[in-house]
Chain A
Amino acid sequence: MLHAASPAREFDAAAPRRRERALEDLAGGFARWRLAWALARSDITHRYRGSVLGPFWLTISTGVMLTALGVLYAKLFRMDVTDYLPWLAVSLIIWNTLSQSVTDASASLTGAEGVIRQMPLPFTVHALRVVFRNAVVAAHNLPLIGVVFAVFGVAPSWTAVLALPGLVLLSVGVFAASIFLGMVCARFRDIPPIVGSVMQIAFFVSPVIWKPEMVGHWQPWLPINPFFAVMETVRAPLMGETGGIVVWLMAVLWTGALCGLAWVFFVRFRGRIAFWV
């Protein structure tokens, strides 16, 4: 039998060294990215176990919803389907990714209760698991944008490359949300339903099914809405625009604020998580 090097672990309630522990948690969690990936992958395969199409049901249901909403809302808003549907496809797929990630983030720690109470594991792993799981789901939906573009003959422009930093920004945001919301929702069980209804309201007040220019002179104020700012950093590039400096600045600002908040909570309350779940 081989012997692992003996790591020493010390805890003194009088000197908790919280910041140091939080950093160790992050480092240890990222070092175990393989575990987070394996868990995220099995989350998806377990959800569709025994199903013939498996995770492609995600693609199909998004496709059906797109067709139905696209045709109906083009009629309601008196817009050309060939113009509206590609825009809606990009919009809705990004929004679904964002909104499902946020809802998922609320359960990042309560969902891993069994592991948290039985073995010491960096909490970062659970947050990474949420990011990876939603990335897998997004990977099943994003290709639909290509299909819709092909059907309606929309040629993607070079700006589409800018969607990549947008997706990175979104992932960072989902990671921070998994830490922050995960902790708050573990402690206060009324928060998850609140998150659910906030996301529902956000769906209607953010330009997801309606176009930003429809609000007229309010349009410059839209980036104050964090969901719009973050969503636009992916959507605008895919639609052949850059999104503008204000949108990017606000998206970075909002994501940074969320990261800051998550860090403060994580440092202060990390040691209590095992008692909360």
Chain B
Amino acid sequence: MALIEAAGLAIEFPLYHHNARSLKQRLLASSPLRLKQNEDNRIVVAALRDLSFTIGDGERVALVGPNGAGKTTLLRTVAGVYEPVAGSLRIEGEIGSLIDPAAGMDPLLTGRENVVLRSLYRGMTEAEGRALADEVAGFVGLAEFFDVPVRGYSAGMNVRLSFAMATAMAPAILLMDEWFLAGDADFMKRAEQRLARLVTDAEILLIATHDMGIVRKWCTRAIRLEGGRIIADGPVAEVLGPEDAT
């Protein structure tokens, strides 16, 4: 069972470490859309406002919307990085997150060592991590580069490694940000196969992207965010409109 359930979810980023007073005067003089004052009279960015949705087993959901719509913030909130200021969030199932390929990666360690390190992040032992590294070696497609420090990797190689690591943990919920589309055609084909297998095991994929081709090919449902609110939620064809329109 995997489930993401949000009700009235809101995230606000306080603007610390700025000259708050002059910012306040300037901003509140005009009528701001995303900026507001919270109860402590602090300027905050309303990143996500009153989101309610339920994502269940086997759903492959695309988060679409312009830059700054709150897609990545939503991914991070689901991952458990940010605590909501209002509303509630319920997650069932282990989360695998592909939000930043460099997160928790040590550039001076080899690909293999990084897999072990990531296993430690997940609370596994070193022995379990080494076993996982052998498994990852099988499908990461990096050949001899797997035993080279990550510093020497190309962006695409980094993506391959992160993707292989995240999916090897067999998460029930896989969160992905758009950067992972940096892979080449061969990688995209493998990724698609692996995702198909993950999702047929009745799990959730939540992906933030601007690539409508990916959305139509991989996803069953789309949520369109704008200004931190959900403005459309439904089957891909419904939210994006007919294929030739995009």
Contact = CB atoms under 8 A, between A and B. Distances in A.
Interface of A: 1-14, 16, 28, 31-32, 34-35, 38, 42, 46, 49, 114-121, 187, 189, 271-272, 274-276
A276 B16 contact: yes
A6 B104 contact: no
A49 B108 contact: yes
Contact of A6 (B2, B86, B102, B197): B2
Contact of A46 (B14, B92, B108): B108
A14 B76 CA distance: 20
Given A10-B90, A115-B103, A119-B97, 11 more contacts: A2-B170, A3-B170, A6-B2, A8-B91, A9-B90, A9-B91, A11-B89, A13-B83, A14-B88, A28-B123, A271-B83
B174 interface: no
Contact of B82 (A28, A49, A121, A274): A274
Given A13-B86, A14-B88, A35 B16 contact: no
Interface in B144-173: 168-172
Given A9-B80, A271-B83, A118 B104 contact: yes
Main secondary structure of the interface of B (DSSP, over half): loop
B123 A4 contact: no
Going nearest first, the 4 A-B pairs with the smallest beta carbon separation are A120-B80, A118-B103, A271-B83, A12-B88
B107 to A, nearest CB: 10
Contacts of B143: none
Interface string B157-196: 0000000000011111000000000000000000000000
Interface size class of B (residues with CB under 8 A): 35 or more
B81 A38 contact: no
Contacts of A1: 168, 170, 197, 201
Contacts of B82: 274-275
A86 B2 CA distance: 63
B106 interface: yes
Given A13-B87, A187-B16, A274-B83, A119 B172 contact: no
A42 B171 CA distance: 27
Interface string B1-32: 11000000010011011000000000000000
B93 interface: yes
A4 B122 CA distance: 11
Contacts of B94: 4-7
B239 interface: no
